[in-house]
Amino acid sequence: MAAKKNTKKQTKTTQFKNWIGGKWAVPHTRKTFENRNPADTSDLVGTFPASGPQDVDDAVVAAKEAFQTWRLVPAPKRAEILYRTGELLAERKEQYAHDMTREMGKVLEETRGDVQEAIDTAFYMAGEGRRLFGHTTPSELQSKFAMSVRMPVGVCGMIAPWNFPMAIPSWKLFPALVCGNTCVIKPAEDTPLSTYNLVQTLVDAGLPKGVVNIVAGFGPDAGAPLVEHPDVDAISFTGSSEVGRMVGQTAAAHFKPCSLEMGGKNAMIVMEDANLELAVEGALWGAFGTTGQRCTATSRILLHKKIAKQFTARLVERTEKLRVGNGLVQGVQVGPQVNAQQIETSERYVAIALAEGANLLAGGKRLKGKAHAEGHFFAPTIFAGVKPGMRIAQEEVFGPVVALLQFDSFEQAIEIANGISYGLSTSIYTRDVNRAYRAMRDLEAGITYVNAPTIGAEVHLPFGGVKQTGNGHREGGTGALDFYTTWKSVYVDYSDRLQRAQIDTGE
Ligand code: UN1
């Protein structure tokens, strides 16, 4: 990948190989899979290796070897490569956004935002190269110095999702790299090109060979061997709770640090004193932005009964006007779902909600017709009359489907918002400062927004959730550094005599 010529060839032929030890590697399996445009499935974006355990092993061997030199590169120097990566990504933003819309579907404005999130992460983590703070603290003994320092973990295995194809790999790779780790990343099978683009940029910015390796493929054949590999020292996974549970259990059996970021069923509370127009705008963006395919998507809207009717009418009216189509076309606001399986999930939940007695107010079906014939398009869908216990109010759909519920009091709203197994993002629209602060305190979630929808996290703050959304780790912010480093406590005794802690207390 280091040579630009090589890259061009890769792009033109659209046949990608694995990237291992600074070289393109044909998979041992000799198998490939296709990456197709979800807005037009006749458009083949590229073919990628369907790797197996041997490919994973090659990548881990390369990463393990590279770790011995990369860990010794001073952190500010490692950071300079990230800084340069940020600059190059900014230059390539338009091309990479275009590639991403083509493979993932979300509209160009949003894929630009996705690349921007990687740029932000690059600059933020580059800054960390001159911090990575530990602590110094007085020793209890004389002439003894005590400090704690951050050490890299080693080889980090990463399994990325398809909904933020560049941002989320950057949340994993950049902090890991600045801390001195080496990486093997398995991109999502729906959106591998954006990971290749990201790693290409790191390489062009001067990343030494073997420091980041890509093994493309499917979960059972490429993901599982990565999690199980004895020389992989930590695992970072973003995806479904179902797969996350398997990843976590496997990692636990090997006593491996493992960061899991999984589902959400994120509630927006709209109080009776809210700016309703603002809340409707927020709901549209939170529920149907990224076609509802965000872990932070607004999938439940809790309405105070005094404003429910008015809000609902306005939301339905605005939803029906949304332009759904190919994200590369100017004016389109909602792209396709990423693949056939996701659209089937949306259909399944529409059937479930109807059977549970919810009222379908908008959408509820696939979009056909000329503009939508070749892609996975689903109409933005609203259910009203939803009760807190219904499956449509409890389970993650990961599509453009939102459930409206009603409440009588602030206390009841908090109870409904918290009455789920997930705890990623939450939001409240109100002009009452006391309620806003109580919501910040009482909503059980890793993220709470006031007068904004449940989406829109910034990279320098911790990202992640409580309950079944995660297992306690955070991406973004300094939380990421905590995952990608391990603490070492160092004691330096300059007294020239044996001093015994807890014993030679000087009494
Ligand atoms: C996700 O929801 O899967 O906070 C990631 C946001 C984005 C990242 C979302 N910055 O909406």
What separation in Å is there between the alpha carbon of 456 and the centre of ligand 1?
6
Task: Give the pLDDT confidence of 69-106 residue by residue, as tens digits.
Answer: 999 999 999 999 999 999 999 999 999 999 999 999 99
pLDDT recorded at residue 3: 37
> Over the stretch 258-292, which tens digit does the pLDDT of each residue have?
999 999 999 999 999 999 999 999 999 999 999 99
Indicate whether residue 294 lines ligand 1 (CB < 6 A): yes
Q: Residue 294 Cα, ligand 1 centroid: separation in angstroms?
A: 6
Q: How many A from CA of 455 to the centre of ligand 1?
A: 6
Model confidence at 10: pLDDT above 50: no
CB of 134 sitting under 6 A from ligand 1: no
Mutate to test the pocket of ligand 1, among 194, 290, 294, 298 (most ligand atoms within 8 A of CB): 294
In terms of Cβ atoms closer than 10 Å to its own Cβ (0-12, 13-18, 19+), residue 234 is buried
Active site residue 109: no
Q: What is the residue extent of each domain of the chain?
A: 19-37+44-262+470-488, 266-450
Check whether 345 has a pLDDT greater than 90: yes
pLDDT score of 4: 38
The residue among 251, 67, 68, 266 whose CA lies nearest residue 159 is 251
Ligand 1 within 6 A of CB of 229:
no
What is the pLDDT at residue 247? 98
Residue 194 and residue 187 in contact, taking contact as beta carbons nearer than 8 Å: yes
What class has domain 266-450?
alpha beta
Q: b/e map of 65-86 (b: 16 or more CB within 10 Å)?
A: ebbeebbebebeebbbbbbbbb
Query: Of these residues, 103, 117, 261, 396, which one is catalytic?
Result: 261
The CATH architecture annotation of domain 19-37+44-262+470-488 reads 3-Layer(aba) Sandwich (3.40)
Query: Is it the case that residue 338 has pLDDT exceeding 50?
Result: yes
Kindly give the distance from the C-alpha atom of residue 58 to the centroid of ligand 1, in angstroms, as a whole number: 32
pTM of the model: 0.96
pLDDT reading at 115 higher than 80: yes
**pLDDT for the residue numbered 507:** 65
Evaluate: CB of 443 within 6 angstroms of ligand 1. Answer: no
Report the residue among 463, 474, 475 best suited for mutation to probe ligand 1: largest number of ligand atoms under 8 A from its CB: 463
297 pLDDT more than 80? yes
Task: Considering the candidates 103, 128, 295, 475, report the single residue annotated as catalytic.
Answer: 295
Index of the ligand 1 atom closest to the CA of residue 463: 4
Q: How far is the CA of 164 from the centre of ligand 1 (A)?
A: 7
Predicted confidence (pLDDT) at residue 506 exceeds the cutoff of 80: no
Average pLDDT over residues 167-178: 98
Using the predicted structure, report yes or no on whether residue 20 has a pLDDT greater than 80.
yes
Any ligand 1 atom below 6 A from CB of 113: no
Determine the average pLDDT of the residues in 176-182: 99
The verdict on the CB of residue 319 being under 6 Å from ligand 1 is no
% helix, strand, coil for the chain, step of 5: 40, 20, 35
Q: How confident is the model at residue 371 (pLDDT cuts 50, 70, 90)?
A: confident
| Position 6 confidence tier, pLDDT thresholds 50, 70, 90 | very low
**Is 295 tagged catalytic?**
yes
Q: What percent of the chain has pLDDT over 70?
A: 97
CA 504 vs. chain centroid, Å, equals 51
Ligand 1, atom 8, lies closest to the CA of: 457
The mean per-residue pLDDT over the stretch 387-393 comes to: 98
The tally of CA atoms less than 13 A away on the side-chain side of residue 167 is: 23
Which of 116, 124, 164, 475 maximizes ligand 1 atoms within 8 Å of its Cβ, making it the mutation to test the pocket? 164
Q: Does residue 170 have its Cβ closer than 6 Å to ligand 1?
A: no
436-490 confidence digits (pLDDT tens): 999 999 999 999 999 999 999 999 999 999 999 999 999 999 999 999 999 999 9
CA nearest to 218, candidates 249, 245, 243, 248 = 243
